[in-house]
């Protein structure tokens, strides 16, 4: 089931959400990664990040609260090892980026935009633990627009920019309008919802618990901006969920927490969508 | 060193069936028919199970529950089976421990990097605490097949939490039992007895599994004695498959630089001299 998104033809409307597919290698035993719409990497920062203290994820009813804190080995390591591994296997790669300054976002965009095999950039504008993770805290739509402008300026024209927004229904339309005007080709709605770890640290709630929140945001956004390409993300766990989000106006979906519970989830979704609709 | 895990030999995700479940002391020994998994087992690998307390409903508890693989055995009619040791510590493990024969459970495994086996027939001391002694029994068998001398140390707070102490005598040439309350064997904690045990065995390699303070003590004692150590960590895992980056372990890379590894895919077995024990926080006691 092919879909067109931001000028790209994707093999499937199902993408792996940022931060839930490891480096790709860990998912490969359960899924032919080349069947994915795209693999969205965990957010890559310019410099290596050790991430936050453990525990980093805890169970909540029908969800997980996470405060991973951008654990990654930095841009150089990603370009030298993780990206080539994915590209060699024919995986369509969307690189999620996060930075502490507009300059860092621009650097990341420039370096990644010219790296062979990068299909698109996803700008993480909605990390629920941004303060704890030490990246730019995007609170207002105009902050998001500023980041998108900076990235768009340094990103080659042929590389689409996806802006990942909060799934906050109060601000989602305004945020989407701002980032689309600033040069984003599509919006991803949304991220884990701001929540607290049991000890009070900033974290994000994801999983089936937030699916109705995601759906509300997608419905309102599609109603307000019917032409905006939307990628739905947040609580999607079954083939029926995928169909309901596509019906609500999303062009594609991202699946994250469901993979942590069952690493074969996405393989079953892709196969299910290829079959006849029930 | 252990060859890297590849897709061909890597983990599988299957529906497992409970073949037997029996309570032994404080633990539940659960035998699973999990097609394809036992053939890929190597000591130190583990299996992750899903908690599904409302059949047919979407899962409410999303984190996996991970267990050491204790035994792989042929069972008439079912081929090879896996035995895991469940300690009830919360609702998820209570549900798993209470599964009836014939119940189905989603299982992923074998996961993680196993213990590395020595090429030569060296002297090995194996140290396990509580249910974490589980992977040491199949390890002892593999080591003995290679002609290694095997001394086993099993410890626990009390007798009820002592895993398979009787069987230990069949797996090793020397067995030391240590309990916190002195109900069986030596009284106290393993760390107090390690220097004498390592000296008596003339240990070349020390293998250990258990809570991080014990592993730290093992790594220190091994280094002091001049032996290699391999420590199997029991960090809390969420996805258990390397996807979520939740189980961070501070390590020193081969180049000497500090790094963050993941307990589930880079471990659970690490060389004891590679873990930055002082920075390892939040480990379960």
* pLDDT at residue A131, as a whole number: 65
* Residue length of chain A: 278
pTM of structure: 0.93
pLDDT tens figures, B139-156: 999 999 999 999 999 999
Tokens representing B242 are: 């390397």
Is B221 in contact with B198 (CB distance < 8 Å)?
A: yes
pLDDT tens figures, B46-74: 999 999 877 777 789 999 999 999 999 99
Residue B173 confidence class, pLDDT cut points 50, 70, 90: confident
* pLDDT at residue A3, as a whole number: 96
Taking an 8 Å cut-off on Cβ atoms, the answer to whether B13 and A27 are in contact is no
Residue A39 burial (CB count, 10 A): 25
SS3 content of chain A, % helix, strand, coil (to 5): 35, 20, 40
Residue A275 confidence class, pLDDT cut points 50, 70, 90: confident
A158 burial type by CB count under 10 A (0-12 exposed, 13-18 middle, 19+ buried): exposed
All residues of chain B having their beta carbon less than 8 Å from the beta carbon of residue A208 are: 58-59, 62
Give the list of residues 6+ apart from residue A170 with CB closer than 8 angstroms, or none. none
Q: Nearest CB to A55: which of B12, B62, B282?
A: B282
Contact with chain B for residue A237, Cβ under 8 A: yes
Buried b (16+ CB within 10 A) or exposed e, B56-84: eebbbbbbbbbbbbbbbeeeeeeebbbbb
Distance from CA of B235 to the nearest CA of A (A): 9
What mean pLDDT do residues A185-206 have?
Answer: 95
Is B111 in contact with B240 (CB distance < 8 Å)?
A: yes
Angle at A17 between CA A60 and CA A113, to 5 degrees: 145
Give the list of residues 6+ apart from residue A93 with CB closer than 8 angstroms, or none. A38, A39, A41, A83, A86, A87, A117, A118, A119
All residues of chain B having their beta carbon less than 8 Å from the beta carbon of residue A263 are: 13, 108, 239, 241, 243
CB pairs under 8 A between A and B: 111
All residues of chain A having their beta carbon less than 8 Å from the beta carbon of residue B61 are: 59
Report how far residue B194's alpha carbon sits from residue B217's, in angstroms, rounded to the nearest whole number. 8
Give the list of residues 6+ apart from residue A139 with CB closer than 8 angstroms, or none. none
């Amino acid at each position: 089931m092919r879909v067109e998104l931001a000028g790209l033809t994707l093999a499937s409307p199902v993408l792996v959400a940022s931060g839930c597919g490891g480096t790709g290698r860990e998912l490969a035993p359960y899924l032919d990664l080349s069947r994915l719409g795209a693999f969205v990497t965990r957010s890559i920062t310019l410099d290596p990040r050790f991430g936050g203290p453990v525990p980093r994820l805890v169970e909540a009813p029908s969800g997980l609260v996470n405060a991973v804190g951008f654990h990654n080995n930095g841009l150089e390591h990603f370009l030298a090892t993780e990206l080539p591994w994915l590209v060699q296997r024919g995986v369509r790669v969307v690189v999620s980026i996060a930075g502490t300054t507009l300059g860092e976002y621009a650097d990341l965009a420039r370096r990644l935009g010219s790296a062979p095999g990068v299909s698109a950039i996803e700008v993480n504008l909605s990390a629920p633990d941004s303060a704890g993770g030490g990246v730019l805290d995007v609170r207002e739509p105009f902050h998001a627009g500023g980041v998108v402008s900076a990235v768009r300026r340094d990103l080659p024209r042929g590389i689409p920019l996806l802006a990942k927004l909060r799934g906050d229904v109060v601000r989602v339309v305004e945020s989407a309008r701002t980032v689309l005007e600033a040069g984003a080709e599509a919006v991803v709605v949304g991220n884990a919802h701001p929540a607290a770890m049991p000890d009070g640290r900033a974290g994000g709630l994801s999983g089936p618990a937030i699916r109705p929140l995601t759906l509300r945001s997608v419905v309102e956004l599609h109603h307000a901006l019917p032409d905006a390409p939307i990628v739905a993300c947040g609580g999607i766990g079954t083939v029926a969920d995928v169909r309901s989000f596509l019906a609500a106006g999303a062009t594609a979906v991202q699946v994250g927490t469901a993979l942590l519970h069952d690493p074969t989830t996405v393989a079953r979704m892709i196969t299910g969508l290829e079959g006849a609709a029930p | 060193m252990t060859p890297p895990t590849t897709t061909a030999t890597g983990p599988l995700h299957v529906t497992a069936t409970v073949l037997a479940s029996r309570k032994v002391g404080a633990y539940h020994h659960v035998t699973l028919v999990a097609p394809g998994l036992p053939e890929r087992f190597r000591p130190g690998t583990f299996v992750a199970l899903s908690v599904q307390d409302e059949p047919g409903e979407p899962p409410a508890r999303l984190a996996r529950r991970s267990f050491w693989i204790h035994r792989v055995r042929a069972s008439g009619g079912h081929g090879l089976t896996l035995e895991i040791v469940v300690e009830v510590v919360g609702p998820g493990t209570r549900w798993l421990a209470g599964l009836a024969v014939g119940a189905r459970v989603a299982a992923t495994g074998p996961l993680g990097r196993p213990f590395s086996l020595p090429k030569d027939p060296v002297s090995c001391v194996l140290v396990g605490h509580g249910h974490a002694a589980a992977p040491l029994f199949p390890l002892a068998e593999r080591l003995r097949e290679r002609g290694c001398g095997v001394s086993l140390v099993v410890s626990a707070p009390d007798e009820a939490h002592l895993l398979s102490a009787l069987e230990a005598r069949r797996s090793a040439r020397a067995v030391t039992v240590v309990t916190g309350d002195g109900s069986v064997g030596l009284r106290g904690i393993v760390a107090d007895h390690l220097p004498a045990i390592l000296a008596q065995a003339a240990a070349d390699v020390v293998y250990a599994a258990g809570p991080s303070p014990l592993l730290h003590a093992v790594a220190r004692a091994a280094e002091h004695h001049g032996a290699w150590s391999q420590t199997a960590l029991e960090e809390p895992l969420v996805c258990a498959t390397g996807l979520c980056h939740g189980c961070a372990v501070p390590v020193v890379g081969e180049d000497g630089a500090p790094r963050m590894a993941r307990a589930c895919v880079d471990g659970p077995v690490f060389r004891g001299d590679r873990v930055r024990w002082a920075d390892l926080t939040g480990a379960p006691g």
